[in-house]
Structure 1
């Protein structure tokens, strides 16, 4: 049974889906005039500035920054620390280049997702904003029956991922295993504390989740990036060589001495693209669920802010991990992999060895915890779409119960099924993005035309 599901998982996450994910990003990049380069400074400006004309009565549940932090909470997880190590171990240093490329095109995809999420969001019976692929599929596609079917499929797969995939078991096991290995804390103690913490936050809804995410995500990301930068700057010559190795290996593959057998170009591409997609979730349709809760008048503005999520997640955080690993030289050590590999690289790179270990351990702890919170919210919105607001409380009870048993379960079959469901999420979402790309282009042109006229008036008044 396990082998059967592994075969299905390999098929779902095979070249066709990866090509479709990157291809959608490439198509949107061309249609939008490489917006992720030319409009990135504006997007970063919007991220840290308040929108004009937004008051307390504006439509939306949380600030645009809080919505982004909630999305980043779900995407910046163990994958940014452990997953990058796995990709480089499998595909060699060149995998990092293909991770960058997937993220570059993924920024256009994430922009379109955030834009459509706000444009087609609705207000539920509790007065909260609901949006995401299920809504822009149902409300945006001309064929309403097809839109409803695809929206329902996405919601079903989304709940599956929240219960059994990215949102639970990998994160829970990472927290329990990390605390046991680093501080000898019994798994049962971690399980109890983690369950209580998740319950206290998630039962408070999106406002409570976003408040926690607004604090933890920037704090932990800055700490992790600072630790990485210290290593990269103090080992500047090795960092320069690491950059060269990434580019060379991306096109030539890389054969290393010792236990590492070497990776060809095809393996580097697959490892890098797959890891990039898993890390930033561009195209999977998860982040727009959080974007829909943003308090904003402009769907384009929120799309730009959403786009920065992929930039922060992969171009910054994953790059930090990847370069630290490569410049350390430990990536080719056959005896190290996953968390142990990343931890060894950080320990060896900092003057005080223990500090490097703490950065990785606490990074995994906080990143994994916020991922659980973010995916709890995604699953909640999918549940509300399928069954109404009354079903939300039952969904939360089940989610908390899964968190409680998660530290004690290490079932390969569950994780394999989770990978399948996670990949299947992307298919209806990508159909929606391609079908509604005309709407994305039209809204974008309208926004920047109006912005140009507004900026001209402001300049004349000065």
Structure 2
């Protein structure tokens, strides 16, 4: 058994086996029904809030927090819209075939309400420091909501350990630098290790200013990146418009039957299609992972759900628009059966659509996409470490050490992959291993704390939509 086969067995038979896939689906369906289809009821409100925050990018509502609502959304989108969309979607198709795209959409459809729930709870249960900087996320709402408010301290400690262990493990299984190095190095015939070193230096410069600086950078770069990628993708889809309907037909047919081997594609079963599609969707839009909630928890807003409903916009934009663009470019160009995988497959699809210039432009885009993703992940792990370290005297020194250590494992992944010739699919499988444990712990916490979310939805409806009875002002954020 080679390394790729071993990684596939570990990830898809155990960590991302059918029980976890069904658990993610069950949670999304359960939340959708119990919330009376919240993602559809608040769909329009989510988009209007997102565009309104774009017009007031520097406005901060409330005194507690670190960044504005728009900066938080930009950072969260910058983390999700990146190599997961370009390399991850391609890896899902390379592993699970066209049918994986269908299951990616299904995960996104139900992921909207999951992401809204976790962002809202992260804001409600967040903790503020003496300077009024606020931090929150799964560790915080597990500790306060389950451990303190509900009195299940030992159970909360177990969930927190599972979440923190799996999430911090992601430092050592981070493939962002490799994906960027592969895309840029292969396109411009550069040494992958050299590209990785340059990328790492720029990443150090980005994270040196902390969350406040990253929020401002993301609010400038992310909107431009999104427009750039959508326009480029639409152009390729349009010039292959005759293949759009056949490609969509293949996606829906393969979702339940699997895909036969064709060209360089080895074939995929129904099971592999659903597993690869679901895992790639969660990795991309992060619904259920709890990662975006860590960024949003630091936003200066006056109501948790006001920020929470931006989760609907993020999942739609990330999965149903950006990921779908990537998938359709790969499908309509015919690149999906080439036998390539990861970012190389997407680059090949762009090249086959508009020539070598398309590949070069996308490679440059991947470089900047990667920087916003890597810097966003840095912020998320910092939030987990802040919780784990608590008020220990050496907290700030350890956080400084983390700042300088964070990019090293990802750069090491480039060196190891190039030295041993590891394929992109193997690296994406390894990366999937770091998402399973946090998702499992987080979904259990969200199910337990869903009544708190419902309470906040009712209060928001009363305050801003004129429906129902509002809570006292001192109850819209958790009081320690």
TM-score normalised to structure 2 length: 0.86
Does residue 169 of structure 2 align to residue 160 of structure 1?
Answer: yes
Match of 2:309, SS state, is: helix
- The structural deviation recorded for 1:157 is 2.4
Residue 259 of structure 1 and its aligned partner are, at CA, apart by 4.4
Return the alpha-carbon distance in structure 1 between the equivalents of residues 257 and 16 of structure 2.
24
TM-score (norm 1): 0.89
Q: How does 1:106-125 map to 2 (within 5 A)?
A: 106-125=111-130
Aligned to 1:358: 360
For 1:66, the equivalent position in structure 2 comes to 71
CA distance in structure 2 between the aligned counterparts of 1:89 and 1:5, rounded to whole angstroms: 15
Cα drift, residue 452 of structure 1: 2.5
How many residues were matched structurally?
A: 447
Aligned residue for 2:222, secondary structure, equals helix
Distance 1:419 1:247 in 2: 24
Asked if 1:408 corresponds to 2:415, the answer is yes
| Counterparts of residues 57-456 of structure 1 (less than 5 Å) | 58-125=63-130, 127-141=132-146, 142=150, 143-161=152-170, 163-165=171-173, 168=174, 170-255=175-260, 257-334=262-339, 336-350=340-354, 353-388=355-390, 389-390=395-396, 391-403=398-410, 405-410=412-417, 419-453=432-466
CA, structure 1 residues 56+35, in 2 after alignment: closer, same or farther (shift >3 Å)? Answer: closer
1:39 to 29, 36, 42: 42
Question: How far apart, CA to CA, are the structure 2 residues paired with 1:180 and 1:257?
Answer: 28
Q: How far apart are the structure 2 equivalents of 1:246 and 1:330?
A: 14
Report if aligned partners of 2:176, 2:410 keep a CA contact under 8 Å in 1. no
Cα distance between partner residues in 2 of 1:236 and 1:252:
25
Offset of residue 111 of structure 1: 0.5
Question: Which ranges of structure 2 fall in alignment gaps of 5 or more residues?
Answer: 469-480
Q: Following the alignment from structure 2 to structure 1, what is the Cα–Cα distance between the partners of residues 182 and 260?
A: 32
- Distance in 2, matches of 1:415 and 1:327, equals 24
Instruction: For residue 238 of structure 1, give the secondary structure of its aligned residue in structure 2.
Output: helix
Q: Which residue of 2 aligns with 1:458?
A: none
Equivalent residue number for residue 459 of structure 1: none
* CA shift digits 1:240-278 (9 cap, x unpaired): 322222223223434365444544433322222222122
The alpha-carbon distance between structure 1 residues 155 and 83, as it changes in their structure 2 partners (threshold 3 A), is same
Distance 1:59 1:403 in 2: 33
Secondary structure at 2:466 match in 1: helix
What do you get for the CA RMSD once the two structures are aligned? 2.7
Partner Cα separation in structure 1 for residue 341 and residue 352 of structure 2: 15
